[in-house]
Structure 1
Amino acid sequence: MAALLAPDRLGLTGRAPWVQLVALRGLVAVALVLAAAVLLAAVAGWARVAEKTGLRRPGRRLPLALAALLVAGAGGQGAVLAGRGLDGDGPGAARADELVVLSFNTFGTVTAGELAALVQEQDADVAVLPETSGRTAREAARLLTDAGRPTTALAADAVGRRADGVAVLLRDALGGYRTTTQGLPATDLGTFAAVATGRSAATEPGAGTAADRTPPAPGVVVAVHTRAPSSRGSMPQWRAHVPGVADICRSTPGAVVAGDLNATLDHPGLADLGPCVDAAAVTGAAGLGTWPADLPRVLAAPIDHVLVDARVWRVTGFGVLPRVGTSDHRPVVAHLVRH
């Protein structure tokens, strides 16, 4: 139980199967309760058989103690989730001075129309989209522009064909951006940075935003997708890339880092982010998961993140949104203001 409740103290956060188990604390809690129920039912059933047949009744002390330990372990998992926060219904309408950052692994199945509708619904200024093709992102940007929200799409391809790369939608009112991979972990899945060029947007300031909104422009947006620790072969890359992403956030003043990190706050690199912060943790929503989307949020793994340099940004809201399309991830949205 200690290995599940505090794997970091035992040096297990980067080892299988603890890597996978601590990512799904809510599901583990349910499994422990069910195991306790099955154990107690088995003991009660054997006692009834013994009573009818005259066989020796089984001892109850050890099974009851084991069942109590299982239930206590489940309670411990629930306590960790509750401590990280389960309040992630969404920050509501954006304030005049807020930057709205959306992160959504689309699994390559969400249409451009669905993406455009989501961006409009959340009034997102930046949308980081792992497993999204450049073609889909450009079509979504066109739809948003036609709807009066001038938007530019940037994208990077993944190596191979197992998954689409990463795309970013940027509201033109933020200004111009260029792409770079310099200094970033080579995740092979399309991770890149959008760096402000300093030039003005093609449209007039504020174009495409609500009349009372002037979102602050981030200097750097790092769009991330790391490999999942799903096999022995992928573990070395995962152990290197997640801490590498955290280091980029620490070393880049004013950075906004978003995407699918395939890691939770228990895992190496995310347990201590200072001076960066996890938007979900700051707002009391880090106990809610994003993958898989067909599980309730409290049972899912919180592996999609928005990390920000807390020396420049203050997190004012965060939400884990309802499922969109047929993606296996839920979107997340964060509201930020400059200090």
Structure 2
Amino acid sequence: MVSALARIIVVLVTIAVLAVLAWPQFFGLQNAWVVAHAVSLRGLAVIVAVALVALLAVLLLLVRPLRGTTALLMVLLVLFGAVNTGILLHRGIGAGSVSAAETDAEADASITVLSWNTLGDEPGAENIAALAIAEGADVITLPETTEETGVLIAEAMRAAGRPMWVHTLAFDLISKARSTTLLISPDLGDYTVTSAEGSGPPGNTNVLPTVVAAPADGDGPTIIAVHAVAPIQWEMSNWRSDLDWLAEECSSAADSNVIMAGDFNATLDHFAGHADTGSDQLGGCRDAALSAGSAAVGTWPTWAPRLLGSPIDHVLATPNWRVDEMRVIGTEDGAGSDHRPIVATLSPAPA
């Protein structure tokens, strides 16, 4: 039979593993390989914990000598599931509405941001333009979208009375994933791309392009269309560097007036350690979904239920912007991309 020492080791190892997976920030492991992947799927972790409790319940009935250890492991798994459930509920699984603009002036000053990783133009320009028009988007950030598609989107929107300027940055023309397109309404003024065409800090993210556009006259927010590399084993260093660079961009922009949106390939857990103050933010930017109570809704992959997916697509802004709404759009799951689009409406925060 299993010795008492072996049982103690199993329990201690289980406690350590569950503690790290529940709150890796405490141990500084949120950006470590394997842990980074596991913590990005908190909804799935709850399901796995429930399944393991069910299996251990069978073991509890069948193996009498191990009942004490089995019961303790069940309690640990229940606590782990409860902690993850609490975190998900705190971050929000709701529709994402906060408040509407109270005056016409506030409504006129608000900015609606649509972001969608299109998996290399897969939904098509017509579908993307239709969604942008339906949502009243003023800013559209499109990781993995080529300039050609961006121009077609702008043409379709112009025909509908919603003209847009197109800014595309491509590291190469071999893979569509190496292009990011940003569309900005002329109503926001003229914008100039300031991010470098070459990859890597200090001018850009390392592997996939991020578009940084600054207002030509200095009046208005710096707008950043984000695409950080995924934290796969051989890209971990680049992924961490991408998050560092994005945090710096959000903290160092002129007058700290920034709106950034796109595919961060990171959840709020991974943002830990990159905040200027507090937590659950990147540099000086706050997550719109957290403010709107929708930060636990998964944006990737589209084949997974919304609460079992990973919320890795974000809209973030500096504190001078108030979040009116932030939603994950679930109607485009069959459009061809593996990411769900997101939309947020931001208004200038009261002084």
- With the length of structure 2 as denominator, give the TM-score of the two structures: 0.82
1:9 correspondence with 2:36: no
Deviation at 1:164, TM superposition (A): 4.2
* Shift of residue 97, structure 1, vs aligned partner: 3.2
Q: TM-score, normalised by structure 1?
A: 0.85
| SS of equivalent residue, structure 2 residue 137 | coil
Equivalent pair of 2:96/2:289 in contact (CA under 8 Å): no
Provide the residue aligned with 1:155 in structure 2: 168
Deviations 1:257-316 (A, max 9, x none): 111111111114364436421111122211112111121221111111111111x21112
* Residue 294 of structure 1: aligned partner: 303
- Following superposition of structure 1 onto structure 2, how do residues 15-54 of structure 1 map, counting pairs within 5 Å? 15-44=32-61, 46=62
Any idea what the Cα deviations from partners look like across 1:94-143, whole Å, max 9, x if unmatched? 84431101111111211001101110111000000001111111101101
How far is 1:92 from its partner? 9.5
Q: What is the identity percentage for the equivalent residue pairs of Structure 1 and Structure 2?
A: 35
Q: CA RMSD in A?
A: 2.1
CA distance in 1, matches of 2:28, 2:22: 12
CA distance in 1, matches of 2:81, 2:259: 35
Contact 1:19 1:267 in 2 (8 A): yes
1:169 paired with 2:183, answer yes
Residues in 1 aligned to 2:142 and 2:251: alpha-carbon distance in whole angstroms: 22
Q: Matched residue pairs, number?
A: 310
Identify which range, 267-276 or 147-156, moves more after superposition: 267-276
> Counterpart in 1 of 2:12?
none
**For residue 134 of structure 1, what is the aligned residue in structure 2?**
147
Q: Look up the match of 1:51.
A: none
Unaligned runs of 5+ in 1: 48-56, 200-216
Q: Does 1:115 align with 2:128?
A: yes
CA–CA separation in structure 2 for the residues paired with 1:314 and 1:227: 28
Q: Which whole-Å CA distance do the structure 2 matches of 1:140 and 1:92 have between them? A: 30
Contact 1:98–1:335 (CA under 8 A) maintained in structure 2: yes
Cα distance in 2, alignment partners of residues 237 and 322 from structure 1: 30
Equivalent residues of 2:246, 2:283 under 8 A apart: no
* Letter in structure 1 aligned against 2:157: L
Instruction: Tell me the equivalent position of 1:101.
Output: 113
Q: Does 1:74 align with 2:100?
A: no
Q: Hey, what's the Cα distance between the residues in 2 that align with 1:41 and 1:294?
A: 31
Going by fraction, where is helix more abundant, 1 or 2?
A: 2
Do the aligned residues in 2 keep the contact of 1:304 with 1:332 (CA within 8 Å)?
yes
* Residues 321, 91 of structure 1: alpha-carbon distance in 2 compared, 3 angstrom cutoff: farther
Conserved? CA contact 1:99–1:337, under 8 Å: yes
User: Quick check: 1:85 aligned with 2:92?
Assistant: yes
1:265 partner amino acid: L
8 Å CA contact 1:250–1:275 kept in 2: the answer is: yes
- Cα pair distance change 1:260/1:101, threshold 3 Å: same
Q: Give the structure 2 partner of residue 188 of structure 1.
A: 207
Q: Which has the higher contact order (CA 8 A, sep 6+)?
A: 1
Letter in 1 for 2:266: A
Q: 1:336 aligns with which of 304, 323, 346?
A: 346
Matched ranges for 1:182-331 at <5 A: 182=196, 183-198=202-217, 218-231=220-233, 233-252=234-253, 253-268=256-271, 269=274, 271-273=280-282, 275-310=284-319, 312-324=320-332, 325-331=335-341
Q: Which amino acid aligns with 1:166?
A: T
- What is the CA distance between 1:230 and its match in structure 2? 1.4
Write out the 4+ residue segments of structure 1 that deviate beyond 4 Å after TM superposition. 89-94
